[in-house]
A and B are shown apart, each in its own frame.
Chain A
Amino acid sequence: MANTFVLPTSGAGAVPSPDAVVSGQVIESETVQKLTQLVNFTHAHLGCSPVVSQGYQGEVFSVTGTPADYNCIWRVPVPSDAHQTLVILVKAKLNNVGTGSIVFTESENSNTATINITSNVATWYRATLSTGSQSNEYAEITAKAIHSGSTGTIIEYVSLHWLPLTSPLAAGQVDQNHFGTLKITPLGEDRSGADYPLASARGKNLVQTLRALAKRPRPLFAWSGLQRVASARAPKTMLPDMFREFRALIRAWGGSRDRDHEYTAFVFAATHGNGDDRLILWRDRRKTIAAATVTPDWEELTALEPFRRESISDQADTDLIRDGLDRPPTENVAPASPVWSVQIWGP
């Protein structure tokens, strides 16, 4: 079967060794087969960590009736054009009586997925959202909860992740969606067997696929404020303490190519119409949101690998980065900041 892969589980022997191809060794077809299978696996699974993982405590995400528009909005990275199914995991309950649901919508093709909430006890629900092909490196997802009465649908957790591809991969090149022309070529494992030549074209495809996969982002941080929910105490935008509370720990890969590592932050931002400019700070990037900007729009910030590692790295036996937006300095503190939603992704 072409384009297959096996899972590199413990003891499966699926991991090729670079020692098998050092000087003086014959390059065995088995080694090349393992390599191509593992590349296929990487294409299938890399980037399938949760792109959104947000909990809501104390009925902060409670909705009555049908809101005029979304409650939450996220801009999430798309692993590749072959990844078009988002898995939605929601923990929710009905406050008392009535019927409730939560609808997830993907903006580019207007595809939706609805989860009906059926219990007064907090329960986990699962649905899938077919996003269709995306023209950008991201997909914009919104969530809107609905309740038939006045007592409320209560959302306690939202988790979204891309469904990994299954074996065998579909034939044909796939757009990576990131960094322009980089393409991913599924590698026919049976073309790597004994008596098949290592063609020049296959080698170039392999190199380009590896470059594309090395650029594929992992979701690192996601937070959306809550709009149009029942409680007036629900944070619509990031509160000052959240800048500190929500800073994510990220695995730093480093190495000789760490300066190639690119991080992206998308911030959905607007002021609160009170006549004050607001400031977004992320690493060495600054973006002023002018006072007149009261309708939120996406701001894209990019940065390279930071040099500073988190001190907790020693305990974790690995290099870690602490990442997240920075709280602006005192003279420009935004009590209710301009950050309606923020997502960060990187290597």
Chain B
Amino acid sequence: MALIPAYQINAPSTRACNVDSPVFGGTIAQMIDLTNHLALGRARRCVHANFTRLAPKDFADLDGDTDTIEIDAEAPESSETLEIPWLSSPMARYVVLFIRYRATGSPSIAADLYELNTTGGAHTRIDVGCSWSATNGRLQSTRYSEGVGTRYALLEATTTAQIRDASGGVDEPRPLVIPSASRGLELMVRLDCVQTSITSVDIFELYEEQWT
């Protein structure tokens, strides 16, 4: 079985396909390598989701007044739920998250995965997912003092791309699993946040051949 090239291979020259020229296996192999890279690499979905919030002051006051623009001085929300939808690709097997956040107190983030319902009904949960929290040592307050002010540093949490078995309960951070029946459907990652404000999330799909 072929490895899927992570790097882009050059397309063969059209001169390799001239009339009356023999077709070399290398030409076809080059086409296959590039096609596998494009189809199984780049055609996987990637999502950059960002969350816009109210500014600390009226927008008109911000122009020319730098002292009022201190988003990192804003205390994170006590709790909020964020939802990010996308159309998964048919070969998506896992979902990797990179989450940028600010946190205070005893923060936590729980991530689970759903089939998106856009007709008013309940979303179907397909992976109960994983969590980052003070309890499992994956998340802490990012609050710090700067002079007389208080700031909340922007840090990053991730599921990593290291595949781990799903226990059936809420796990330590791991890539979320898309069951085969849900691949290619519109999905949604839900993030339940406590004392945490998420500013943006990057989502990557992983493809992995079936194993036994």
Interface residues of A (CB under 8 A from B): 7-11, 15-23, 25, 27, 31-32, 35, 38-39, 41-42, 45-46, 48-50, 53-61, 87, 89, 91, 119, 123-126, 157, 159, 161, 164, 198, 200, 202-204, 206-208, 210-211, 213-214, 218, 220-223, 226, 231-236, 239-242, 244-251, 253-258, 260-261, 272, 274, 276, 312, 315-319, 333, 335-336, 347
Contact = CB atoms under 8 A, between A and B. Distances in A.
Contacts of B105: none
Contacts of A59: 54
Interface of B: 1-2, 4-14, 16-21, 23, 25-43, 45-60, 62-66, 68-72, 77, 80, 82-87, 89-91, 93, 96, 98, 100, 116-118, 120, 154, 156, 158, 160-162, 180, 183-184, 186, 188, 199-200, 202, 204, 208-210
B63 A21 contact: no
B158 A312 contact: yes
A87 B20 CA distance: 46
Contacts of B87: 48, 50, 87, 161, 164
Contact of B43 (A46, A207, A246, A254): A46
Contacts of A39: 35, 39
Given A125-B118, A239-B69, A246-B199, A7 B90 contact: yes
A46 B42 CA distance: 7
A54 B52 contact: yes
Contacts of A119: 120
Given A200-B19, A214-B8, A245-B71, 19 more contacts: A18-B2, A18-B36, A21-B26, A31-B28, A35-B32, A45-B39, A45-B89, A53-B47, A55-B50, A55-B83, A124-B83, A164-B87, A234-B59, A247-B200, A253-B41, A256-B7, A318-B6, A335-B64, A336-B62
14 contacts: A15-B40, A16-B36, A18-B2, A27-B23, A32-B28, A203-B23, A207-B14, A235-B59, A241-B71, A245-B100, A253-B7, A255-B7, A258-B8, A316-B96
A239 B41 CA distance: 34
Contacts of B199: 245-246
A312 B98 contact: yes
A239 B58 CA distance: 12
Nearest to A46: B43
A198 B18 CA distance: 11
